[in-house]
Chain A
C-alpha cells in the first residue's frame, strides 16, 4: 500500500481545516503530508483554500461613521463628568 492509498482525496479535503489549524495528531499529519506530496489535485485544493482564506481577510470593515464617533465621544465626556 502506498502513501496515497492510505488517505483518499475525498478524506483529505475534510481534514484541511484541521491541518491548517494544527490540530491533527502527528500520525494524521504525516499521512496528510505524504498524500499531498504525491497528489497534485490535493496540493491545488490546499492552495485554493489558502487563497480563499486570504481573500476573506480582505473583506475590510468600513470605518466608523463620523456621526457615530461624535455620539460616542459625547457619551465618553458625559461618563467622565459623572
Chain B
C-alpha cells in the first residue's frame, strides 16, 4: 500500500487547507488570472451586496458599495500580507466603505459594534406567558403548554416558498445589529470568530445578538406553522 501517491503533485488543490487555497487564489489574482477573479467575485459579490444593504439606504447603493469594494481589493492586492484571511479582508473593506457611505447618506445606523446589551431591555426568547408563573406550586417556570411537535410537518411545507418568505421577513424585521450577525452566521455560514473580526464585536455580544435573532425567527416560524 502506498500512502503517497505519485499523482498527488498533479492535483495541488487536493487536501489543502483553506489558507493554502487562499494563497493559490491570491497568487492567481496577482498574476492577472481572469477566471480566478470571476470565481472569487461570483462566490462573494452577492454576500457583499447583502451585507452592504444593512448600512446604506437602498439596494442600488449597496451594489455600488460592493463594486467599490472589489476596486479596493484590486488596489490593495499587492500590499495584502495575508495576516487575516482573504475573506475577512474583503468583508472588512466592504464594511468600512458601507459605513462611510451610510454616514454620507446621513442614515444613522445602530451598528452591532456600538450595541450595548446593558442599555437595552432584556428580550426573552419566548413570551413569558408561555410558562407557568414563578409562584406556581408544582412547576414554576415550566411550559404552560408544550410547543407543538413539527415531526409531522411535511418537508414540502417546511421548505415551501411561503415558509421561506416568512423566514426572510422575520430576518428583514430584525434590528440591524441582530440582522448583521444572523446574516453572516446563518445565511453566509461564517464562524463566530469571523463575525467578531469583521464586525469588531466581542464574543459575548455576538452570541447574544445571534440568540435574539434566532429566537425571533423561530417564533415567526412557529406562528406560521402552528397558525
Binds A, one of B4-12, B92-100, B124-132: B124-132
Q: How far is the CB of B218 from chain A (nearest CB, A)?
A: 4
**A55 sits at the interface (CB 8 A):** yes
**B156 sits at the interface (CB 8 A):** no
**Cα-based distance from A59 to B71 in the complex (angstroms):** 27
Give chain B residues whose Cβ lies under 8 Å from the Cβ of A68: 45, 63, 67
Describe B's contact surface by its main secondary structure: helix
Binds A, one of B18-26, B103-111, B112-120, B186-194: B186-194
Who on chain B is nearest to A77 by CB? B34
Give chain A residues whose Cβ lies under 8 Å from the Cβ of B142: 4, 8-10, 39, 41
Once the chains bind, are A72 and B67 in contact (CB under 8 Å)? Answer: yes
Q: How far is the CB of B145 from chain A (nearest CB, A)?
A: 8
Contacts A8-B140, A9-B143, A13-B126 given; indicate if A73 touches B34 (C-beta within 8 A): yes
**A27 sits at the interface (CB 8 A):** no
**Cα-based distance from A10 to B74 in the complex (angstroms):** 51
Size class of the contact patch on chain B: 35 or more
Contact partner of B42 (CB less than 8 A), chosen from A21, A44, A49, A64, is A64
Contacts A44-B147, A52-B218 given; indicate if A73 touches B207 (C-beta within 8 A): no
Size class of the contact patch on chain A: 35 or more
Once the chains bind, are A47 and B150 in contact (CB under 8 Å)? Answer: yes
Enumerate B168-223 residues with CB–CB distance to A below 8 Å. 168, 171, 182, 186-187, 189, 192, 207, 210-211, 214-215, 217-218, 221-222
- Interface residue ranges, B against A (CB under 8 Å): 32, 34, 37-38, 41-42, 45-47, 50, 63, 67, 70-71, 74-75, 124-126, 128, 131, 140-143, 146-150, 158-159, 163-164, 167-168, 171, 182, 186-187, 189, 192, 207, 210-211, 214-215, 217-218, 221-222
- Interface residue ranges, A against B (CB under 8 Å): 4, 8-11, 13-14, 16-18, 21, 23, 39-42, 44-45, 47-49, 51-53, 55-59, 61-64, 68-69, 71-73, 75-77, 79-80
